[in-house]
Structure 1
Amino acid sequence: MGAPPPPPGEPPPDRPYRDPYIDPPPGQSPPEGEPWSPPPRGGPQYGEAPPGYRGGPGPVPAPLGGRWRRLFAGIVDSIIISLISTPVTWQTWSHVLDEERGAWARINLSQTFFLAVVAFLYYWLLQAYWHGQTIGKKIFGLRVISETGERLAVGQAAIRQAVMAVLAWLCCLWIIDLGWILIDPRKQAIHDKAARTLVVDS
C-alpha cells in the first residue's frame, strides 16, 4: 500500500515545501472533488505584497503581527526585565550636594547600565534561541523572523537589539524607532529595518 495522501493544502512527503502554483494556501482548499485553480504566474501569490507595494523587498512570509499585540508584549517584557533587575537596582542611592540649599540630598541613582545589559541579554538570547520569541511575544502569539521567512539568526537578533538599545539611549530617538511601526507598511521599527527582520504571527 502507498503512503496516505497529504492533508489538503499540504505538500506531499517527497516535496517538503509549498509551491503556490501547486498547493492551495492553508485553509483555502477547494471543496472535495473540485480542482484547485492556481493563481496566474507573475501575479501576487499567497503571502506576497499587492502591486505597488513599497514596504520592502520580497514577499511577506507570514501574517504580520498586530501593533497592539506588539505593544502589550513589550509591556510584559518590560515588567519581566524590571523584576529581574530589581534585586540590584531597588536600593541604589547616592548623596550629592544641593548648592542652592547648601545641604546634601539623597538621590536614587538607577543602575541604568546594568538594566540595559539585562534587557539586551533578555531580548537577544530569547529571540535567538527560542524561535524568535520573548515571553511577552509568546503570550501574544508573535515571533521575530528574517525578512526572507527564515528563522532569526543569532547575529541578526544581536543587531536588532543593539540598534534598539542605541536608539533608546540617544535622547528621544526610541520614540521615532517604535513610532515607525505606525507608518511602515510592513510594521517594521527602525531596528527591524536595520536587522532585516519582521514581527509576524506565530
Structure 2
Amino acid sequence: MSSPAGWYDDPQDPTQQRYWDGSTWTDQHRAQQGPPPYQGQFGGAPQYGEAAQHGQVYGGSNAAPSQPAQPVQPQYGQYAPPQQQPQYGQYAGPQQPQQFGQQPQYGQYGPGGHPQQQGYGYPGKRPHTTPDGQMLSGWWRRVFARIIDSIIVGIVGLPLTGYFYYKYSQILLDYFKTVMDQAEAGTPTTTTTLPPEVYKWMIPALLIGFVVSFAYEYLFLTKKGATPGKMALGIAVRLRDAPGNPPGSAVAKRYGFEIALSVLGVIPLVGTLVGFIALINYLWPLWDDKKQALHDKVAKTNVVRT
C-alpha cells in the first residue's frame, strides 16, 4: 500500500523535509517543521503585577528556547513513506503495514516473511519472470488460448479444407462399414492398415490446414505479438531476452517445430512415438523453471502476461 501524499522526512537529509506525491519522491524540499512549543512550559513572561502561570518565569523572554527540529511523526492510523525504495530481493521491512488483501510489490516480502508472487498471492513462491522482469503466463491460460485459436483457424480454413475432409470421412466410413460387415459374416479382417484412398484426401487436408495455421500464427505474432486467442486471455509471445513482438525467424522456428511433430504423427509406427513427444511438448511448461514449452526453447521465446 502506498503512503498518502504529503511532507515527510527526507531520507537523504534529516534536516529537511521532502514531498511524497503518493507513489514517489519529488524534488520539492523545505526546512524541517518542528512541533509547536508547549505553551504551558515556555509561555511568554507575565506582565508587571500579574501572577506567573505554571511554566512562566519573571524576566524571561517571550520567545521559546531554540530546540533542534523534531522529525514529524505520523499520527495514529497514518502511514509514513518508505525511507528508500527496496531493491529486488531485499526485505521491505515493516515500513508500510499492508491492508487486508493488499499484495506486496514485486521483490518485497509479504506477511510472515515469505516472498509472494505479485498478482497471485501464493506465499513461499517466487514469481516466474523474464530476465527483465515481465511476468510469465500460467499453463492454463496457454491451453485456453490454444483452444480458441484452433477454433478460429478451423473456421477460417474450412472453405479450403472442407471438400478434402468430406471425401476423407466418406472413405473412412465405408472402410469401417466393410470391416463390420465382414465381422458379422464370420470373416473378420486381419489387417489394421487404412486403405490408400484415405491418405489421398487426408494428406492434402492436413497440409492446407498447416499452411493456414502457420500464416495465422506468423501474421498475428509478428504484427501484434499475440493471436486473438492469446489476446483474449491477456498473454503474448516475445523473445525471452528482448521485449516486443517476436521476429519472423523466431515465429517460424516456434510453430515449425509444432508442425513437424504433427506431420510425423500421421506416419504409421513412428506416429505413436512422435505423438508422445508432442504431448510432452505441451506439458513441459508445468515443470520448467522458465515456463517454456519445447517449441519455446527452440525459438528462445516466452509466453508472458500483458
**Would you call these one fold, judging by a TM-score over 0.5?**
yes
The answer for the alignment partner of 2:290 in structure 1 is 186
Q: TM-score, normalised by structure 1?
A: 0.67
State the number of aligned residues. Answer: 166
The answer for the alignment partner of 2:301 in structure 1 is 197
Which one of 156, 177, 180 corresponds to residue 84 of structure 1? Answer: 156
- Report which of the two structures shows the higher radius of gyration computed on alpha carbons: 2
- SS of residue matched to 1:62: coil
Closer, same or farther: CA 6–139 of 1 in aligned 2, 3 Å: farther
The answer for the alignment partner of 2:131 in structure 1 is 59
Asked if the contact 1:61–1:149 (Cα under 8 Å) also holds between the matched residues in 2, the reply is: no
The answer for the alignment partner of 2:10 in structure 1 is none
Closer, same or farther: CA 34–6 of 1 in aligned 2, 3 Å: closer
Asked if the contact 1:146–1:197 (Cα under 8 Å) also holds between the matched residues in 2, the reply is: yes
Closer, same or farther: CA 6–116 of 1 in aligned 2, 3 Å: farther
The answer for the alignment partner of 2:145 in structure 1 is 73
Q: TM-score, normalised by structure 2?
A: 0.46
Provide the C-alpha distance between the structure 2 equivalents of 1:71 and 1:177, rounded to a whole number of angstroms: 12
The answer for the alignment partner of 1:8 in structure 2 is 23
Closer, same or farther: CA 37–175 of 1 in aligned 2, 3 Å: same
- What pairs with 1:121-132 in structure 2 (closer than 5 Å)? 121-130=215-224, 132=225
Instruction: Kindly provide the amino acid, as one letter, of the partner of residue 178 in structure 1.
Output: Y
Instruction: Kindly provide the amino acid, as one letter, of the partner of residue 133 in structure 2.
Output: P
- What pairs with 1:133-152 in structure 2 (closer than 5 Å)? 133-151=226-244, 152=246
Q: Which runs of 5+ in 2 are unaligned?
A: 1-19, 25-78, 91-105, 108-125, 183-194, 266-274
Instruction: Kindly provide the amino acid, as one letter, of the partner of residue 116 in structure 1.
Output: F
Closer, same or farther: CA 61–107 of 1 in aligned 2, 3 Å: same
The answer to whether 1:170 aligns with 2:185 is no
Instruction: Kindly provide the amino acid, as one letter, of the partner of residue 150 in structure 1.
Output: P
What whole-Å deviation, never above 9, does each CA across 1:31-77 have from its counterpart, x for those lacking one? 674332332799xxx68xxxxx9x99x72631111111110000000
Higher relative contact order (CA 8 A, sep 6+): 1
- SS of residue matched to 1:35: coil
Closer, same or farther: CA 36–121 of 1 in aligned 2, 3 Å: same
Instruction: Kindly provide the amino acid, as one letter, of the partner of residue 8 in structure 1.
Output: S
- SS of residue matched to 2:238: strand
